[in-house]
Amino acid sequence: MAVNPCFRKGDLGLMSKKIYGELKPPERLLLGAGPSNIDPRVQRALSLPIVEHLDPYFMEVMDEIVELLRYAFKTSNYMTFPISGTGSAGMESAICNVIEEGDEIIICISGFFGERMSEMAQRYGGKVIEVRAPWGRVIEKEAVEDALANSKAKAVAIVHAETSTGILQPLKEISRIVHEYGALLIVDAVTSLGGCELDVDGWGIDICYSASQKCLSCPPGLAPITVSERAMNIIRNRRTKVRSWYLDLSTMEKYWLESNRVYHHTAPILLIYALREGLRLLYEEGLENRWARHEENHRALVKGLEEMGLEIFADRNYMCPAITAVNVPKGVSDEAVRRTLREEYNIVISGGLGELKGRIWRIGLMGINSNKKNILLVLEALKNALKKEEAKKPNNNKQP
């Protein structure tokens, strides 16, 4: 049997005196698909004194977060709070609270995260009806209506900003159609909340979830969610209990929203502080101003990329302001370019996921990172990285 080198014979499990150094992570400019860099004010909030999760002060912070999240989602929904977990926990909560064994659900798939929703729904016993579009294109409303007309779907789930492709899905018409057929509309706003126009009440979204680490410029680990009363009536009248105890919205409600709060779990207090500060920054800037800033900087980035001769992957009519997908030029190594950006410039951009692995780069301008300085930095670094790759080609190394 192999012996762990950290242990010595006869130590009875005691560790040997290996030296563990202080953490000194590199300072990267995170211009990928997330996380984004943390705003300095948010960073300071993480260093504040911790209190108990039922402390009166923390209860006040929780109330303010609920108010600020309603502002961010543009909703008056009572059921609005952050789930203690990543964006995927928000996705799973949305699915598992609605779907019971045998329920039909329409999942719209035009990228990696639509595929993930389909997988989750199947694991909870849902009968998934997939409505597909090529990656980099939007889901057509006619396809959704056809699926609804030929099913008894309880809900339709769709990604608003598909992080894997850079597409921003139009939702207004799809929402109208979904409600005409009496179904619920579930929307993934992980990348769009705080960076792209999103109007939960105005667009008739029943369940909308997001994540803390993208356009809100907070650390990963929280998943804001908002649920309409219509959806909650369905959840409260389920035939069976929600299969996930931890993600059951009706039990989390008693901790987050009732005046006489009931313990559910030990909340990540410092992450809650950070989210509260991130939402305060959004409130100070103003939603419309935040959206306009992301749109303006996105257009500047796209212009710069195209002037370099690069091609945008996503449909030009439906590009997401927070994440831009660009085709990797033929003959260029995706990984080599990203490695140069990381090692020589301390800039991180993301590669493709799933079927787009090696084919696209994803450049994120999210939250605090959406500014003109970062656009200039990433364009110049990318230009130099591409020149470096070009110089490696055999034909360019021949002597005249």
pLDDT at 9: 53
Residue 270: is it exposed, middle or buried by C-beta count within 10 angstroms (0-12/13-18/19+)? Answer: middle
Give this prediction's pTM. Answer: 0.93
Helix (H) or strand (E) holding 121: helix 112-123
pLDDT at 391: 85
Find how far residue 185's CA is from the centre of its chain.
18
Instruction: Spell out the per-residue pLDDT of the chain, length 400, in tens.
Output: 454 555 555 555 555 788 999 999 999 999 999 999 999 999 999 999 999 998 999 999 999 999 999 999 999 999 999 999 999 999 999 999 999 999 999 999 999 999 999 999 999 999 999 999 999 999 999 999 999 999 999 999 999 999 999 999 999 999 999 999 999 999 999 999 999 999 999 999 999 999 999 999 999 999 999 999 999 999 999 999 999 999 999 999 999 998 888 999 999 999 999 999 999 999 999 999 999 999 999 999 999 999 999 999 999 999 999 999 999 999 999 999 999 999 999 999 999 999 999 999 999 999 999 999 999 999 999 999 999 988 887 766 555 4
**Domains of the chain and CATH, by start:** 29-34+287-389 (3.90.1150.10), 40-284 (3.40.640.10)
CA distance 69 to 82: 8
E strand residue ranges, the chain: 29-30, 79-84, 104-109, 127-132, 155-159, 161-162, 167-168, 184-188, 207-209, 222-227, 323-327, 347-348, 350-351, 360-364
pLDDT at 16: 74
pLDDT at 13: 54
**48 with 185: CB under 8 angstroms?**
no
pLDDT at 159: 98
Helix (H) or strand (E) holding 351: strand 350-351
pLDDT at 4: 55
pLDDT at 1: 47
